[in-house]
């Protein structure tokens, strides 16, 4: 600091033609002392020496404000509430506090130099410190906060933000009442206005801007709708930051936030979005504030995802995902309710040339039911477009590949025999894939049956075809322990895997659930997510457990007892021969697994088992799936959501089905027949029989992704003969019951019908 001040003084004053007056020299000396004193004071407060030097010069020049003296400020706040003080003394304290708030919270320099965290407090906040000797029943810091890797810890140390001290100041200001909170928010507004847009502010302030954003976000008053104008300006600044600045913000949130702080910030932004959605609905449009807030939600989403990835233990397959919050916590109820116009939001998304914002660009705000609704909307629009194309267009363009009569038909027709279901389906789908008309609206007919497909026939078709396709006959191997199938290793015909993918894509495209037993890792691979050791558990539990045992070994002798080398073997599903593979070419079989390389071994083994060994098979499967589900809408789903979309809801809530049931043709909800029916369903039928009933009435024994509460079952009366069996129109979820004479007759007739029903019409 002394050197920087002395540079202002002539090297040799006596040689100057115009020597400096004595008073000027005294001013320079006073300036030097002032800068030195400021530098010493700032460094004692924990400021970095370089930052302290720069701020000391600004303070001496009168172009910056002092950082907040937190102990003195909190003491002044306490005196403001001291009933023993006289009115004049209280007024003086109030004015001092008000001046400090305005001075510090409207100045970027002062605010950035305040709330410097001591190093020991930073060490206690990262979830990696030593046990504090607390109660055994209390949560450890690791259970409260995600652990930090060294790179993230360096980001936190560079930020030096004392959140505890900051929150103390905010709470102290709130304790003084709304007047002082208003002064604080007005200071925020002036500070944000001085920044301008994100790129300008970033070029001027650099990484210190990230610190300011985090300081302002911590203010509890921002959750009040009355202050959403200030919150909106803050979110606008954060949303307009350049990509590199947003990346830095993600790292800082990951480094400095606890789960509690992350949850609170997420709730503040979500409430802001909710209020703006309802305001936009009243005005009949959307505003820029929604785009800014959604963009900041993406920053939080990325930080949460980074916490999950970085928190994974190197050795683990059983580790918790060390994210701040579950992914479902990012959903915004206002865009998932019935009042939200998902169709309009989808339309805006598909027209980026006309609209700049759609929630579809931020899929984490949607739940899986809303995403499924959007996907069904897209499929219906696409099918209508294809139908119109084939109904009105010329079929001769591709007549060289397929029959003209087929190309002229606007439907994808599958005529299948129940006793040759797999062969008929594979043959006809191969034909339609070659023709390129696989996206037509689907119509299925079972040969020799009278059923007309208005949705119910194809539901049963998908129920029957899935077990046929995902079997050993097609090239899938089953694990008896997990009751799940996986791609067989070897040189199988890849075309069959492609058609298996087409079946799954066709079901999703037409809105039907499948009885599909693929493990979760298959959906992760379809979504392009990273695969790790943990994913081996659902495919090959024995291999997964062996890998965990290897990683838990404590010495070389234990590792050597496994006798592992960097190689793997498998039985070719086609030839039946045992094949060996090098996991570490060119001499993996000769490289023994040791304590030093065991992590690399299990990583390579999991990669080989789940990816490399079935690469050709899975690529063919994904190619078939993508023929129908390659659009952006499918990419909105997370792997677990895609699984629910494919296989339906995991549980069957028949109480919800009853609550949504309608009664027709004179049948009322309080009629004896209605009461008997639901009593039998809830009290007499087994889980298997309930599934059979669901299949009998709707054509599918699985609930859609929204659950049975979204199925509109219709009950009606059909005659009064005790000898007649119930009948159903599966296309319309319509179950018809004769008006039986008693409950026992109804139970016997209903169970007979559901246990013996197959086919449509008379056979």
- Model pLDDT for residues 60-106, shown as the tens digit of each residue: 666 667 778 888 899 988 888 775 666 666 677 788 889 999 989 99
Residue 15 pLDDT grade (very low, low, confident, very high; cuts 50, 70, 90)? very low
Phi, psi for 182 (deg, rounded to 5) = -65, -40
Q: Which of 283, 285, 296, 298 is nearest to 348 (CA)?
A: 285
> Distance (Å, rounded) from C-alpha 61 to C-alpha 30?
12
Report, as an integer, the average pLDDT of 489-512.
90
pLDDT at position 145: 63
- Which run of H or of E encompasses 581? strand 578-582
Structural domain boundaries of the chain? 2-28, 65-124+142-345, 654-756
In angstroms, the CA 633 to CA 620 distance is 21
Q: Which secondary structure element, helix H or strand E, spans residue 486, and what is its range?
A: strand 484-487
Q: Is 110 helix (H, G, I), strand (E, B) or coil?
A: helix
Q: What sign does the CA torsion over 138, 140, 143, 144 have? A: positive
Alpha-carbon span 699 to 459, nearest angstrom? 5
Contact 662, 715 (CB under 8 A): yes
- % of the chain surpassing 90 pLDDT: 45
pTM recorded for the entire structure: 0.81
Does the pLDDT of residue 758 top 80, yes or no? no
The answer to whether residues 729 and 419 touch, using CB atoms and an 8 Å cutoff, is no
Q: Is the pLDDT of residue 428 over 90?
A: yes
d(CA 502, CA 435): 14
What's the CA gap between 49 and 70, in Å, rounded? 20
What is the rounded (10 degree) CA torsion for 195, 200, 202, 208?
-30
Better-predicted residue by pLDDT, 131 or 328: 328
Q: Would you place residue 740 in the very low, low, confident or very high pLDDT band (cuts 50, 70, 90)?
A: very high
Q: Tens of pLDDT along 275-302?
A: 999 888 887 777 789 999 999 999 999 9
CA angle in degrees (0–180, nearest 5) for 131-134-139: 80
Residues 196-254: tens digit of each pLDDT? 888 888 888 888 899 999 999 999 999 999 999 999 999 999 999 999 999 999 989 98
* Cβ-proximal residues to 131 (8 Å cutoff; 6+ apart), any chain: 140
Q: Which residues pair with 737 in a beta bridge?
A: 717
CA distance 517 to 481: 13
Would you state the pLDDT for residue 136? 38
Q: What is the pLDDT of residue 129?
A: 41
Residue 743 Cα to chain centre, angstroms:
48
Which of 42-51, 140-149, 545-554, 563-572 shows the lowest mean pLDDT across its residues? 140-149
Check: CB of residue 533 under 8 Å from CB of residue 317: yes
DSSP string, 129-163: S------TTSPPHHHHS----HHHHHHHHHH-B-H
Q: What is the average per-residue pLDDT within 167-181?
A: 93
pLDDT score for 184 = 95
**Does residue 35 register a pLDDT over 80?**
no
Contact between 620 and 546 under an 8 Å Cβ cutoff? The reply is no
Return the SS3 of 350.
Answer: helix
Q: Which of 309-318, 505-514, 604-613 has the lowest mean pLDDT?
A: 309-318
Burial string for 673-701 (b: 16+ CB within 10 Å, else e) reads bbebbbebbeeebeeebbbbbbbbbbbbb
* Residue 591 predicted with pLDDT over 60: yes
For residues 397 and 110, the model is more confident at 110
CA dihedral (666, 669, 674, 680) in degrees, to 10, reads 160
- The gap between the terminal CA atoms of the chain, to the nearest Å, is 99
Beta strands of 661-720 (E only): which ranges?
A: 662-664, 714-717
Per-residue pLDDT averaged across 532-549, rounded?
A: 92
Q: For 625-666, write each residue's pLDDT tens digit.
A: 999 998 889 999 999 999 999 998 878 899 999 999 999 988
Contacts of 78 (CB under 8 A, 6+ apart): none
Q: Which region among 18-22, 277-281, 332-336, 516-520 has the lowest average model confidence (pLDDT)?
A: 18-22
Q: pLDDT at position 322, please? A: 57
DSSP secondary structure letters along 723-739: TPPPEEEGGGTEEEE--
Average pLDDT in the chain: 83
Within its chain, how far is the Cα of 695 from the centroid?
32
Q: 284-287 long-range contacts, Cβ below 8 Å, gap at least 24? A: 286/348, 286/357
Instruction: Please list the active-site residues.
Output: 731
Strand-pair partners of 443: 413
**Torsional sign, CA 445, 450, 455, 456:** negative
Is residue 741 within 8 A of residue 747, CB to CB? The reply is no
Give the pLDDT band (50/70/90) at residue 161: confident
Going by the DSSP 8-state scheme, the letter that residue 660 receives in this structure is T
Mean per-residue pLDDT, 14-43: 61
Do the beta carbons of residue 173 and residue 180 sit within 8 Å? yes
Phi, psi of 703 (to 5 degrees): -85, 145
Look at domain 654-756 and name its CATH class: alpha beta
* Torsion angle defined by CA atoms of residues 717, 720, 723 and 724, in that order, rounded to the nearest 10 degrees: -30
Structural Rg of the chain based on CA atoms: 34
pLDDT band at 23 (very low <50, low <70, confident <90, very high): low
Dihedral class, residue 100 (left if φ above 0, else alpha if ψ from -120 to 50, else beta): alpha
Three-class HEC string of 295-330 = HHHHHHHHHHHHHHHHHCCCCCCCCCCCCCCCHHHH
- pLDDT, residue 90, reads 67
- Run of H or E including 263: helix 259-283
CA pair distance 396, 26, nearest whole angstrom: 98
Q: What is the pLDDT of residue 404?
A: 53
Cβ 376 vs Cβ 509: under 8 Å: no
| Bridge partners for 716 per DSSP | 664, 736
For residues 236 and 492, give the distance between their C-alpha atoms in angstroms, rounded to a whole number.
55
CA distance 247 to 303: 9
Task: Give me the count of residues in the chain.
Answer: 763
């Amino acid at each position: 600091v002394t050197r920087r001040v002395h540079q202002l003084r002539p090297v040799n004053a006596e040689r100057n033609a115009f020597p400096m007056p004595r008073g000027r020299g005294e001013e320079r000396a006073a300036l030097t002392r002032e800068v030195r004193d400021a530098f010493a004071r700032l460094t004692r407060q924990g400021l970095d020496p370089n930052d302290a030097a720069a701020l000391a010069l600004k303070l001496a020049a009168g172009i910056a404000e002092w950082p907040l003296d937190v102990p003195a400020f909190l003491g002044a706040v306490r005196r403001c509430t001291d009933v023993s003080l006289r009115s004049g003394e209280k007024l003086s304290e109030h004015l001092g506090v008000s001046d400090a708030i305005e001075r510090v919270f409207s100045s970027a320099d002062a605010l950035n130099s305040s709330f410097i965290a001591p190093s020991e407090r930073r060490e206690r906040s990262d979830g990696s410190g030593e046990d504090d000797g607390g109660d055994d029943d209390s949560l450890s810091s690791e259970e409260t906060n995600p652990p930090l890797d060294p790179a993230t810890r360096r980001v936190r140390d560079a930020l030096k933000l004392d959140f505890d001290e900051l929150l103390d100041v905010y709470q102290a200001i709130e304790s003084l009442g709304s007047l002082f909170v208003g002064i604080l928010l007005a200071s925020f507004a002036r500070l944000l206005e001085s920044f301008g847009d994100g790129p300008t502010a970033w070029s001027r302030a650099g990484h210190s801007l990230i610190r300011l954003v985090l300081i302002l976000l911590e203010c509890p008053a921002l959750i009040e709708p009355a202050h959403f104008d200030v919150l909106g300006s803050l979110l606008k600044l954060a949303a307009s930051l350049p990509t590199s600045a947003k990346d830095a913000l993600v790292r800082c949130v990951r480094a400095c936030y606890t789960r509690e702080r992350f949850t609170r910030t997420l709730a503040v932004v979500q409430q802001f979005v909710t209020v703006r959605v309802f305001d936009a609905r009243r005005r009949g449009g959307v505003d820029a504030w929604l785009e800014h807030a959604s963009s900041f939600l993406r920053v939080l989403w990325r930080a949460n995802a980074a916490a999950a990835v970085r928190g994974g233990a190197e050795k683990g397959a059983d580790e918790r995902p060390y994210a701040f919050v579950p992914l479902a916590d990012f959903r915004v109820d206002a865009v998932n309710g019935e009042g939200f116009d998902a169709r309009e939001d989808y339309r805006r998304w598909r027209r980026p040339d006309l609209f700049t914002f759609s929630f579809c660009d931020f899929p984490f705000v949607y739940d899986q039911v809303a995403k499924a609704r959007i996907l069904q909307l897209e499929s219906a629009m696409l099918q209508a477009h294809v139908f119109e194309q084939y109904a009105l267009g010329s079929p001769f363009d591709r007549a060289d590949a397929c029959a003209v009569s087929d190309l002229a038909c606007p439907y994808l027709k599958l005529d299948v025999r129940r006793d040759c279901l797999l062969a008929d389906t594979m043959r006809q789908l191969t034909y339609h894939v070659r023709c390129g008309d696989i996206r037509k609206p689907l119509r299925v007919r079972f040969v020799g049956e009278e059923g007309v497909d208005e949705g119910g026939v194809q539901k049963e078709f998908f129920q029957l075809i899935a077990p046929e396709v995902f079997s050993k006959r097609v090239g899938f191997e089953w694990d008896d322990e997990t009751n799940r199938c996986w791609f067989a290793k070897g040189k199988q015909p890849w075309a069959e895997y492609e058609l298996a993918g087409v079946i799954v894509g066709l079901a999703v495209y037409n809105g039907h659930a499948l009885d599909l037993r693929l493990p979760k890792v298959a959906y992760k691979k379809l979504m392009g997510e990273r695969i790790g050791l943990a994913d081996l558990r659902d495919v090959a539990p024995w291999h997964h457990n062996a890998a965990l045992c290897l990683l838990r070994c404590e010495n070389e002798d234990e590792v050597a007892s496994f006798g592992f080398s960097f190689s793997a073997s498998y039985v070719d599903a086609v030839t039946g021969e045992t094949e060996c593979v090098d996991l570490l070419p060119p001499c993996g079989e000769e490289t023994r697994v040791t304590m030093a390389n065991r992590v690399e071994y299990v990583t390579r083994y999991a990669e080989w088992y789940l990816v490399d060994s079935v690469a050709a098979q899975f690529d063919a499967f994904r190619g078939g799936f993508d023929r129908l589900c390659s659009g952006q809408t499918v990419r909105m789903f997370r792997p677990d959501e895609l699984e629910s979309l494919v296989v339906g809801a995991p549980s069957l809530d028949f109480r919800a089905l009853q609550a949504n049931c309608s009664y027709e043709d004179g049948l009322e909800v309080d009629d004896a027949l209605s009461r008997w029916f639901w009593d039998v369903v809830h009290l007499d039928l087994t889980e298997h029989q309930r599934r059979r009933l669901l299949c009998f009435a709707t054509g599918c024994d699985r609930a859609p992704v929204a659950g049975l509460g979204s199925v509109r079952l219709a009950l009606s009366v059909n005659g009064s003969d005790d000898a007649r069996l119930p009948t159903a129109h599966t296309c319309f979820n319509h179950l018809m019951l004769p008006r039986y004479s008693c409950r026992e007759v109804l139970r016997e007739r209903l169970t007979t019908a559901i246990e013996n029903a197959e086919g449509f019409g008379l056979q």
